[in-house]
Amino acid sequence: MKVNEVPQDDPKLSTKELKELCYAVDEDGNYTSELSQGWKPKADALHASIEAINEQAEIYRQKALQQEISPVQYLMELKRMDLRTVAAYTGFFKWSVKRHFKFAVFSNLSEPKKMKYCNTFDLSLEELNGLSNL
Amino acid sequence: MNIPFEHRQTAHCENGVISNLLHHKNVAMTEPLAFGIGSGLFFVYLPFFKVNSAPAISYRPMPGLIFKRLTKRLGIKIKKQRYKTPSQAKKALDEQLSQNNPVGLQVGVYQLPYFPEEYRFHFNAHNIVVFGKNEKGYLVSDPTMEVVHTLSEKELEKVRFAKGAFAPKGHMYYPVTFPENIYLKKAILKGIKNTCRDMLVPAPLIGIKGMKKLAKDIRKWPKKIGLKKTNHYLMQMVRMQEEIGTGGGGFRFIFGAFLQEAAPIIEKPELINLSKEITEIGDEWRLFALNASRLFKNREKENKGYNDLADQLDRIAQREKIFFKKLQKAI
């Protein structure tokens, strides 16, 4: 990559200040570094991947409102987590978290247990309950 | 507390933290040198291990390995420590700062306030340097950022105790002792040999073999798992290739810069030509990412596009094989 080929595409990020350092070759064939504003293929992959997460999250949110599943599954998707991460933050086993995906199991959880999810997802208890019309 | 620490932006966090920490201790160390000596160039494809519901493809060795190899090869002793509680971790950090000692910290990026929303995933092996404290909080030199940032005590605690895969547990590290003489030449040779060995290893899934296996799978995916999933896999592949500090095209260019810098030190002028060659291969990687992104964006209906992409990856693998064999011979 030559210095003048370092991509300067609009990354369409929420924070515009981020510029990345790239290594590139100058006219004499010597390596130097240059800041890059963004590169379209990379931005496309990033945005498409976030879009996929948000789409899936919206499906789960609707299901949670219908009380088909618990809000835990929705929030896990929304916060870009996986089972392992949720288990680590809450202190539950992975299989317990999976059980809590069921609306019936979730709605019977004690308050301290629900609080663990509140802390993990940065929500109040009312907000958490509100996500499934409890 | 204000330690005169020079913040230098780098392409990758791990190289950046270590080269900046060493620079602070008057050891001349650029990012490409740190990357090359630490054997940062790598490739592994794990079809059975899923990240974001797509097979894991990594263009770098395990987090921490570049750092470990670099310091070992230069004979520098590092103090590393993890902590049970946030208060212990904070106390240890403050102690180092009061002794005017900047330290490296492993952190999670999900809760890093100065990162753009879009980059905040649960990735816990990011590296930063903390070099001071004022009334607003800690002074943070994040090598992937242009400028120095400040994190409050609470914010720093959150990222130091992020949870999940690679949980940092407050991991803090700093160089303690330096050898009298640093033998760069020996370290560089070791670094290059290690990289060649990794890339040419006859085991499946790693290095050239890993790329070939990935190419083979790209051909199969549209039939085997359907176009929707294939596009998702390709999208994740491009993300891993091009996102900050994860490698792919960018890593080839750092390696090219390294070879150019290393050539006069180890007195091997043929490395200059090899540097040009890996630069061209890096350009090919970028084209590969571009073609892959076109495929997943257009939601191609035919298999031809995927076969072409796989052909391209095969060509890259072949070129890298020749390249690393030449490099191995040159040193």
Residue-wise pLDDT for B101-120, tens only, equals 999 999 999 999 999 888 88
pLDDT digits (tens, 9 = 90+) for B240-276: 887 655 567 789 999 999 999 999 999 999 999 999 9
Q: In terms of CA atoms, which chain A residue is nearest residue B9?
A: A21
Residue contact A52–B232, C-beta within 8 A = yes
Average pLDDT over residues B272-298: 92
Average pLDDT over residues B4-26: 93
Share of chain B above pLDDT 70, in %: 97
Q: Provide the 3-class DSSP secondary structure of residue B281.
A: helix
A23 Cβ under 8 Å from any chain B Cβ: yes
Q: Does A76 have pLDDT greater than 60?
A: yes
d(CA A74, CA B2): 45
CB pairs under 8 A between A and B: 117
User: Which residues from chain B sit within 8 angstroms of residue A17, using beta carbons?
Assistant: 146
User: With left for phi above 0 and alpha for psi between -120 and 50, is residue B166 left, alpha or beta?
Assistant: left
What pLDDT does A127 receive?
A: 93
Distances (CA, A) of A95 to A63, A83, B96: 21, 9, 41
Residue contact B116–A18, C-beta within 8 A = yes
Residue contact A88–B250, C-beta within 8 A = no
Q: In terms of CA atoms, which chain A residue is nearest residue B244?
A: A20
State the angle between helix axes of B13-24 and B65-74 in degrees (0 to 180), rounded to the nearest 10: 30
d(CA B58, CA A44): 19
What pLDDT does A107 receive?
A: 94
Q: Provide the 3-class DSSP secondary structure of residue B163.
A: coil
A19 Cβ under 8 Å from any chain B Cβ: yes
Question: B283 is written with which tokens?
Answer: 């350009």
What pLDDT does B143 receive?
A: 94
Q: Which residue has the tokens 């190899």?
A: B69
Q: State the average pLDDT for chain A.
A: 92
Q: What is the DSSP letter of B100?
A: T
d(CA B20, CA B26): 10
Q: State the average pLDDT for chain B.
A: 92
Q: Which residue has the tokens 């070791």?
A: B190
Residue contact B261–A31, C-beta within 8 A = yes
What pLDDT does A16 receive?
A: 63
B180–chain A nearest CA distance, Å: 30
**Predicted ipTM of the assembly:** 0.91
Average pLDDT over residues B53-81: 92
Residue contact A33–B11, C-beta within 8 A = yes
Q: Which residue has the tokens 């990758």?
A: B12
A115 Cβ under 8 Å from any chain B Cβ: no
What pLDDT does B114 receive?
A: 92
Average pLDDT over residues B82-89: 96
Task: Say if pTM beats, i.e. exceeds, 0.95.
Answer: no
Residue contact A21–B9, C-beta within 8 A = yes
Q: In terms of CA atoms, which chain B residue is nearest residue A122?
A: B111
pLDDT digits (tens, 9 = 90+) for A5-47: 898 888 778 776 788 899 999 999 999 999 998 888 888 888 8
Q: Does B296 have pLDDT greater than 80?
A: yes
What pLDDT does B245 receive?
A: 53
* A123 Cβ neighbours under 8 A, 6+ residues apart: A75, A117
d(CA B114, CA B120): 10
Q: A-contacting residues of B 99-128, CB under 8 Å?
A: 110, 114-122
What pLDDT does B301 receive?
A: 67
A94 Cβ under 8 Å from any chain B Cβ: no
HSE at residue A52, side-chain half, CA atoms within 13 A, is: 18
User: Which residues from chain A sit within 8 angstroms of residue B118, using beta carbons?
Assistant: 13-14, 46-47, 50
> Which of B109, B122, B229, B295 best tests the A interface by mutation, with the highest count of A CBs <10 A?
B122
Phi, psi of B33 (to 5 degrees): -65, -45
Q: Residue B128 pairs with which residues in a beta bridge?
A: B105
How many CB atoms neighbour CB A108 within 10 A?
10
Residue contact B290–A52, C-beta within 8 A = no
Residue contact B117–A89, C-beta within 8 A = no
Closest CA relative to residue B241, chosen from A57, A34, A49, A10: A49
Structural contact between residues B19 and B31, judged by C-beta atoms closer than 8 angstroms = yes
Element (DSSP H or E) covering residue B139: strand B137-141
Q: A-contacting residues of B 140-179, CB under 8 Å?
A: 144-146, 163-165, 167
pLDDT digits (tens, 9 = 90+) for B154-205: 999 999 999 988 899 999 999 999 999 889 999 999 999 999 999 999 999 9
Residue contact B253–A46, C-beta within 8 A = no
pLDDT digits (tens, 9 = 90+) for A81-103: 989 999 999 999 999 999 999 99
Share of chain A above pLDDT 70, in %: 99
d(CA B163, CA B180): 40
What pLDDT does A18 receive?
A: 81
User: With left for phi above 0 and alpha for psi between -120 and 50, is residue B168 left, alpha or beta?
Assistant: alpha
Q: Does B85 have pLDDT greater than 80?
A: yes
